[in-house]
Amino acid sequence: MEKTIRAWDSGFVEYMEEMVGHPNYKGMPIRRNAEGELLWLTELDSESQERLDWAQEKADELEMIVQPREFAQLMREIHPTKIHVCKVCGSRMSIYHHYPTKHLLKTLNKEFKQEFSENDHIGDIWDKILANGEPKVWLRQFFQRTFGLSDIRGIGKNEIITMCEKICSEQSKRLLSPGATTNFPRVFDGYQPENRCCIAGDRAEHLSETLGYIAIDQKTYKFWNDGNLHGANAYSKSKHFEDKTVRHMGPVALGFVHDPRYLRTVEDEEQPAIRNRLLVEDIEAIIQVESSTGVPAMSWYSSEMWMHIKKNYMKNPQKVSTIYRNALLQNSANYFFIIKSIAEKSNGYGRDFLIDAFLDPKSEVFEFTYEFDAWGNITERITIPYTKNGEDPAERYVQEALEAIGDYSERALSHLLPDMTYDERFELSRICWKIGQQEPNGCQKALSDLVISIEKRLTQEMRTAKSPKV
Ligand SMILES: [Zn+2]
């Protein structure tokens, strides 16, 4: 059911009409109800798809490189006023990262003994601090120190704020947040109708739903990617991570291994869920661990792409966070689609095939308990004595891994949709059919050939893709 907009703030209604009439959004699909009111939020998959297609065309027109299905940056770029009006209270807030997070707010209020709120624009906070008689030098030093700015001599207030905004929006430092959160293609202008002043209820619900899917996917990656799964789980529960959040140096959604040697703590100011990013500095740190431990950083299904990236990232640093990252994400999506298809479309014999081919070999790690040093290296390995009544952890792993592939969401809210050629899909069907006929001989080889041929195609695409403009 589509909600009526009558209860919405009149400023917001004006705002919607202004946006719909603006040339920047020319051609973006939107409908009106019988009363002529704009249906700002769409529930229709077809309309969402039309909006996505529109955005892709717009991005091409502006020569912007966007990550697949992620148009937040584009919507920010084309927003004509950069000010979003709140549907509930009519407040006008910046779409940029201009508002203090809880973390920054605490520091600010302590340092300057004031009561600022999360809805105060950082520029207004700056002015109020000065109006309160605090020395300008102190204020500037506070910004420099807190945001880690290198040199601000001769640089004015607005430029300093722009620098801080960039640090928070591009490098995900958790100090400033935007006034309106992104939600495209569901919302016409790409912004949640409530500003941060009035965010509650349904938004929080939507967010937790999406996070639920992400959590399920994460589980699937951890179970099926390469790496010492048992060691990684034990290490992340060890004293090295007491009270701290664990992160993978390379995101498992990009195919990186789930292994103790590639786990680190999340630093205080980092965004807890850095969405599957890949940066030059990440690659450098990962290569260092790879060469000192000899443990491969990438799962087998993306290892050729990883080789290509290692050889070429220095020559093409602009490709790292966009083209390389997207290609890895796409390859994972294809791979998990293949695994899920085998599990479900092989006439009931797919799961046994997967156990023999992938899960049993991976479950050997459950025969041991481990001790670790501070970098996740295994310093001691003790064979677990056979217990009569205890359940077999290797058996439990196999069951959980099969459940995880079943739960892996087909409605890709948190991962990409598979993108395979006709021939690749045909070969996948042939493999599923053979497994279903209980002729698994040669299927493992055929499966591995298929995965590698897809990987080769994507590697070729990474090679020929034009470097994005910075
Ligand atoms: Zn509001």
Confidence at residue 101, expressed as pLDDT on a 0 to 100 scale: 87
Q: 3: number of CA atoms within 13 Å, CB side?
A: 8
Confidence at residue 203, expressed as pLDDT on a 0 to 100 scale: 47
pLDDT band at 396 (very low <50, low <70, confident <90, very high): confident
The Å distance, Cα 88 to ligand 1 centre, comes to 5
CA distances from 292 to 280, 289, 296, 310, 324 (A): 19, 5, 11, 16, 24
pLDDT tops 90 at residue 243: no
Please write the tens of the pLDDT for every residue from 140-192.
Answer: 999 999 999 988 888 999 999 999 999 888 876 789 989 998 888 889 999 98
What residues contact residue 79 under an 8 Å CB cut-off, 6+ apart? 24, 95, 189, 190, 191
pLDDT tops 90 at residue 35: no
Dist. CA 280–CA 257, nearest whole Å: 18
Confidence at residue 463, expressed as pLDDT on a 0 to 100 scale: 95
Which 3 state secondary structure label does DSSP give 187?
A: strand
Dist. CA 430–CA 76, nearest whole Å: 45
Instruction: Produce one character per residue of 233-243: b if its CB has 16 or more CB atoms within 10 Å, e if not.
Output: bbbbeeebeee
Instruction: Identify the DSSP state of 63.
Output: T
Confidence at residue 447, expressed as pLDDT on a 0 to 100 scale: 97
pLDDT band at 205 (very low <50, low <70, confident <90, very high): very low
Confidence at residue 338, expressed as pLDDT on a 0 to 100 scale: 96
pLDDT tops 80 at residue 386: no
Task: Please compute the mean of the pLDDT values over residues 37-52 and round it to a whole number.
Answer: 88
The Å distance, Cα 12 to ligand 1 centre, comes to 10
Task: Please compute the mean of the pLDDT values over residues 282-309 and round it to a whole number.
Answer: 96
Q: Which of 296, 294, 328, 295 is nearest to 309 (CA)?
A: 328
pLDDT tops 80 at residue 398: yes
What residues contact residue 166 under an 8 Å CB cut-off, 6+ apart? none
Please write the tens of the pLDDT for every residue from 109-142.
Answer: 999 988 898 889 999 999 999 999 999 999 999 9
Pick the range with the lowest mean pLDDT from 80-84, 115-119, 202-206, 243-247.
202-206
pLDDT band at 389 (very low <50, low <70, confident <90, very high): low
**Considering the entire predicted model, what is its pTM?**
0.61
How many residues are given for the chain? Answer: 470
Please write the tens of the pLDDT for every residue from 70-100.
Answer: 788 899 999 999 999 998 888 999 999 999 9
Confidence at residue 329, expressed as pLDDT on a 0 to 100 scale: 92
Task: Please compute the mean of the pLDDT values over residues 308-335 and round it to a whole number.
Answer: 94
Dist. CA 157–CA 159, nearest whole Å: 6
Task: Please compute the mean of the pLDDT values over residues 330-347 and round it to a whole number.
Answer: 94
Task: Please compute the mean of the pLDDT values over residues 260-265 and round it to a whole number.
Answer: 91
Query: Are 197 and 119 a contacting pair, CB within 8 Å?
Result: yes
Confidence at residue 2, expressed as pLDDT on a 0 to 100 scale: 42
Confidence at residue 161, expressed as pLDDT on a 0 to 100 scale: 96
The Å distance, Cα 170 to ligand 1 centre, comes to 25
Kindly give the residue spans of alpha helices, DSSP state H, lying in 239-349: 280-293, 303-312, 317-319, 325-344
The Å distance, Cα 396 to ligand 1 centre, comes to 48
The Å distance, Cα 193 to ligand 1 centre, comes to 9
The Å distance, Cα 86 to ligand 1 centre, comes to 5
Position with higher pLDDT, 385 vs 283: 283
The Å distance, Cα 112 to ligand 1 centre, comes to 26
pLDDT tops 50 at residue 258: yes
The Å distance, Cα 180 to ligand 1 centre, comes to 10
Question: Domain spans of the chain?
Answer: 10-95+180-199, 97-178, 206-464
Position with higher pLDDT, 353 vs 387: 353
Please write the tens of the pLDDT for every residue from 416-457.
Answer: 778 899 999 999 999 999 999 998 889 999 999 999 999 999
The Å distance, Cα 301 to ligand 1 centre, comes to 47
Mean pLDDT, the chain, rounded, equals 87
The Å distance, Cα 198 to ligand 1 centre, comes to 4
Four-CA torsion 275, 277, 282, 283, nearest 10 degrees: 140
Task: Please compute the mean of the pLDDT values over residues 16-26 and round it to a whole number.
Answer: 95
pLDDT tops 80 at residue 234: yes
The Å distance, Cα 197 to ligand 1 centre, comes to 4
pLDDT band at 5 (very low <50, low <70, confident <90, very high): very low
